[in-house]
Amino acid sequence: MSRKPLLFKGRGAVSNPEGRFEKETIDPFDDGWGTLELEPPPIPKTTVNPDHNRSILTRNNSPDIPFDQSVNPYKGCEHGCIYCYARQSHSFLGLSPGLDFETKLFRKVNAAAQLEKVLRNPRYQVKPVTLGSNTDPYQPVEKQERVTREVLEVLAAFKHPVGILTKSALVLRDLDLLAEMAKLDLVRIAVSVTSLDNHIARIMEPRAAAPQRRIETIRALAEAGVPVGVNVAPIIPALTDTEVERILEKAAEAGADAAMYILVRLPYEVKDLFREWLHQHFPDRAEHVLSLLRQMRGGKENDPRFGARMRGEGPYAQLLRNRFHLACKRLGLVRREWNMAVHHFKPPPRAGDQMNLFDED
C-alpha cells in the first residue's frame, strides 16, 4: 500500500518522487501495523542554500525563445507552480522535481559579482539579458535574499538592457531602478497571468501573487513608465483556456501594451507530476485535459520540437492561436521582442581606475 497524496497548504506538487537519474527509489510499504496511516509526513519547510556558481550567464540558440542570454538568481522556485518546466532541473542536483523543487532552494550568492566580471570583459558583446527564464527571480525568498536586486543594480550601473519574466508583485520593490532604466529604453517586463480564478490559481501556483495582484502590478509598472506586457502562460486546455480573452482584456485595461502565450509544456518528470496533480484536484476533467494535450502534441503529452513545443499543432492548437491573435488585435496588444537599446552600455569606473581624458561624461 502506498502513501496518500502529500497535500500541504502552500505547496503545488502532491508527491516527492526521485529524479530520473537516481538508481534507487523508496517505496513505502505497510507491514500490517498501519504505520503509514499513523505517521503523517512532516510538513516541508523552505530551505535556501548557497550555490557558488562558476558562471552566471546562460546562453541559448533556440529559435522560439526571444532572447539569447539569461540570468537565473535561484535554483528551485517557492511559487510551486505544478506545470513548471524547470522542475526537471532539480533532478540534476540529486533532488526531486516534486516537493524538493519548491522547498529546497539554492541562491547564487556571487551572481552580481560574476555578472560584473562578465560585463567588464572587453570581448563581451552587449545583448539583452533576461531574468526569470527558468525560475522566477522574484519568488518569495527574494524578499530576504535580494540576489535579483543585486543583479539588477549591476545591470543598471552598466546601463545594460534587461527583460524580466515574473508572476510576482515583488518586482515593484525595484521600481526605482526599473523606472530609471525605462527612460533609456533598457527594460521590458512580462507579467505571467495563467488564470483569473482565485481557486484554480491557489492550487496551481500556491505561492505566486493572486491574479488580481498581478493585474495591479501591470498597472503600477505602466503608470511608472515601464514597458510591460502580459504572458498568458501556460494555457491549459479544458482548465484555463476559456479565460484567454478575459486575461488579455484585464491586462490591456491595466496598461499592458504587449502579449504572448505558451501552451503548457510537460517534459520528463513534469508530465507525471502534472497528471498526478490533475487527478487529485480535478478528477472530473483530468483525462479530458490530457486528451486535448495529446491531440496538440502528436499523440503524446509533450513535444520537445522547436516551433511545436510552445504552441502545439492541430485544430485545437490553431483555434487557441486564432482566438489569441484576434483578441490581441482588438485590444491593440502586440508581440514585442526583447529589442532594447544597447548603445548606452558603459562599464562604470571602479575605485583606482585611471580617468579617461576623452570621456564625455
Does 356 fall in a domain? no
Does 233 fall in a domain? yes
Residue (of 225, 169, 223) closest to 192 by Cα position: 169
- CATH number of domain containing 89: 3.20.20.70
**Grid-cell match 551572481, residue found:** 111
pLDDT in tens, 204-253: 999 999 999 999 999 999 999 999 999 999 999 999 999 999 999 999 99
pLDDT in tens, 159-206: 999 999 999 999 999 999 999 999 999 999 999 999 999 999 999 999
Question: Among 23-37, 305-319, 337-351, which stretch is predicted with the lowest mean pLDDT?
Answer: 23-37
Residue 42, pLDDT > 80, answer yes
pLDDT in tens, 251-260: 999 999 999 9
Section 292-306 average pLDDT = 93
Q: Using an 8 Å Cβ cutoff, are 258 and 336 in contact?
A: yes
Does 173 fall in a domain? yes
pLDDT at res. 89: 94
Does 115 fall in a domain? yes
**Grid-cell match 485535459, residue found:** 289
Does 2 fall in a domain? no
Section 93-116 average pLDDT = 96
pLDDT at res. 287: 97
pTM: 0.92
Which amino acid is present at 77? C
Q: What is the dihedral of CA 148, 154, 156, 160, to 10 degrees?
A: -100
Does 127 fall in a domain? yes
Which helix (H) or strand (E) element contains residue 113? helix 111-119
Q: How many angstroms separate the Cα of 153 from the Cα of each of 108, 187, 208, 210, 223?
A: 15, 13, 24, 27, 22
Does 349 fall in a domain? no
How many structural domains compose the chain?
1
Range picked from 22-31, 32-41, 59-68, 125-134 for highest mean pLDDT: 125-134
How far apart, in whole angstroms, are the C-alpha atoms of residue 149 and residue 107? 13
The domain in which residue 263 lies consists of 47-331
Q: How high is the mean pLDDT of the chain? A: 92
Section 107-121 average pLDDT = 95
DSSP 190-242: EEE---S-HHHHHHHSTTSPPHHHHHHHHHHHHHTT--EEEEEEEE-TTTTGG
Start-to-end Cα distance in the chain:
72
Question: Among 19-23, 69-73, 138-142, which stretch is predicted with the lowest mean pLDDT?
Answer: 19-23
Residue 233 grid coordinates: 502562460
Does 132 fall in a domain? yes
pLDDT at res. 2: 46
Give bridge partners of residue 200 from the DSSP assignment: none
